[in-house]
Amino acid sequence: MKTIDELLAEGVAGKRVFVRADLNVPLADGKITDDGRIRAVQPTIAKLAEGGARVIVASHLGRPKGAPDPAFSLAPAAARLGELLGTDVAFATDTVGASAKETVAALADGRVAVIENLRFNAGETAKDDAERGAFADQLAELADVYVGDGFGAVHRKHASVFDLPARLPHAAGYLIATEIGVLKKLTDEVKRPYVVILGGAKVSDKLAVIDQLLGKADRLLIGGGMAYTFLYAKGHEVGISLLQKDQVDVVKEYMERAEKNGVELVLPVDILASTEFPDLKGKTPADFVTVDADKIPADQEGLDIGPRTRELYASKIADAETVFWNGPLGVFEHPDYAGGTRAIAQALVDSDAFTVVGGGDSAAAVRTLGFDENAFGHISTGGGASLEYLEGKTLPGIAALEV
């Protein structure tokens, strides 16, 4: 895989360099609530501009239906990128149309432009190779060189991620190089004890990675909505908690394998539960209680791990050499149910281990709860991509850069 430093050594002055970034940031009323992904790609863009490249930044945002939708415009991300770079960033109001062509043609050496949301064109995400390829052809006309640095999208076989690198000289940006280096420390170069914390809503989203980790991790700590399927598989009633009954047999088999392989699989011992889901704007159900994990009342739903579980999980992290965490442990968006997720984040901060926060909601939680990002070994920009790498899958966007 060619590195950006090798590309810069060859010289990029005057060249149109297409940077596939991941500017898929959360928005509320048109305002960015977490700019972590923009900050993560800034070093690559800044270095290319410093080298005299004419930088064309492209990304998706959200899930528009293959047509323009103002709710998913990249305009706020372009403005924030300009603030971070300390320079004006041009913005094209389409992807491969007149605005994009005019904006790119007007770029001077060392300047940066952002084109509109790639998913406003159906060809970006098309399943049909020819349709996807046709869009990649149009994108290729805008540039001389391709730099892949959108780690959060490398597990997608999309035109700008998979097809475009085949049409241009290409290299990996600093972010992708960093992400892959970190993931190798979780797979090929693991220091032990190796502890993995998995949370989030659905156990089905994590089955493949659990399958792989049962042969690699020393401890698996389970929380979030997915924990209730494990508790149910152990014979415990879980009330009205999130439950995937169709996954119970698989979960039972995984628990048996964990025991056979000597992997410590740790489940919550107590739960914060309520008869109703919390109002995320701050209203707290009046009747939430802390209950033993095997005694959740029939009319109550688990919303967070309890205080004893927080202490238990912290003790399981304390002596680790490597920790990977993906998925919040409760409804962290509400202050009364953020305690479990906060406790895990604090345990990672207190640990001497190499700690990796696996992107997605976990990364958002760390920032929302006010933790210093530098207190962790690495905060990934791609939860889905990280999990698929740990599952042993080939990531299309990485494979395309290796050719």
Active-site residue list: 37, 202, 360, 384
Could you give the CA distance from residue 31 to residue 34 in angstroms, rounded to a whole number? 9
- CB 57, CB 115: distance < 8 Å: yes
Could you give the CA distance from residue 285 to residue 23 in angstroms, rounded to a whole number?
A: 36
**What is the spatial distance between Cα 396 and Cα 141, in angstroms, rounded to a whole number?**
22
Residue keyed to tokens 């009342």:
297
User: How far is it, in rounded angstroms, from Cα 388 to Cα 303?
Assistant: 27
Q: Which residues contact 82 (CB under 8 A, 6 or more apart)?
A: 88, 89, 112
Instruction: Judge residue 83's burial from the number of C-beta atoms within 10 Å of its C-beta, 0-12 exposed, 13-18 middle, 19 or more buried.
Output: exposed
- Report residue 256 as tokens: 């048996």
State whether residue 108 is helix, strand or coil.
coil
- Which of 304, 216, 305, 215 lies closest to 266 in space, CA to CA? 305
Per the listing, tokens 């439950």 go with 243
Rounded CA gap, 129 and 132, in Å? 5
Measured distance CA(9)–CA(48) in Å, rounded: 11
Interatomic CA distance for residues 314 and 16, integer angstroms: 49
